Homo-oligomer: A and B are copies of this chain.
């Protein structure tokens, strides 16, 4: 009587997206920004936007990078040119919901929490929100065509240096 109608392809897509997100968080938390750039395709969009602006259709974003080239610039800036006090990030990301999978593109969403730790301080909540994603299948893995990070607080602790 138990419904067994779940195709293996559904589990496969779920696995790939959850693994991608785990690797994504891990790469950022280790500060490997060169590897972060490689998680995207060339023509991509990476945006970090307050929920209020996103819901109201307002374009103002905290970070908006509209190609892999711009991501590379950002990664370079973090490592080489941006003057900033360093801090650790830690991502804890919920299980993703797959909204659509046509075999080529997967649209998905996942809730995330990012904790920040400054040297000599306790950990604090830095940014919580929701990823709105378009993944592209590449071989056995995925790459991001689009990741929009819609976060709840319009007030960010200091400025945002690292991607979310």
Number of interface residues of A (CB under 8 A): 60
For A128, list chain B residues within 8 Å (CB).
Answer: 90, 92, 115, 117, 123
A71 to B12, alpha carbons, bound, how many Å?
A: 35
For A94, list chain B residues within 8 Å (CB).
Answer: 22, 25, 91-93
Interface residues of A (CB under 8 A from B): 1-6, 8-12, 14-16, 18-19, 21-23, 25-26, 29, 51, 88, 90-97, 103-104, 109-113, 115, 117, 119-125, 127-130, 137, 139-140, 152-155, 157
Residue from B21, B88, B124 within 8 A of A51 (CB atoms): B88
Please give me the 5 A-B residue pairs with the lowest Cβ-Cβ distance, nearest first: A117-B152, A2-B103, A90-B128, A88-B152, A115-B128
For A19, list chain B residues within 8 Å (CB).
Answer: 14, 95, 97
Q: Is the interface of A mostly helix, strand, loop or mixed?
A: mixed
A36 to chain B, nearest CB (A): 15
Residue from B1, B4, B11, B90 within 8 A of A152 (CB atoms): B90
Asked if B120 and A127 make an inter-chain contact with CB atoms under 8 angstroms apart, the answer reads no
For A16, list chain B residues within 8 Å (CB).
Answer: 6
A113 to B92, alpha carbons, bound, how many Å?
A: 7
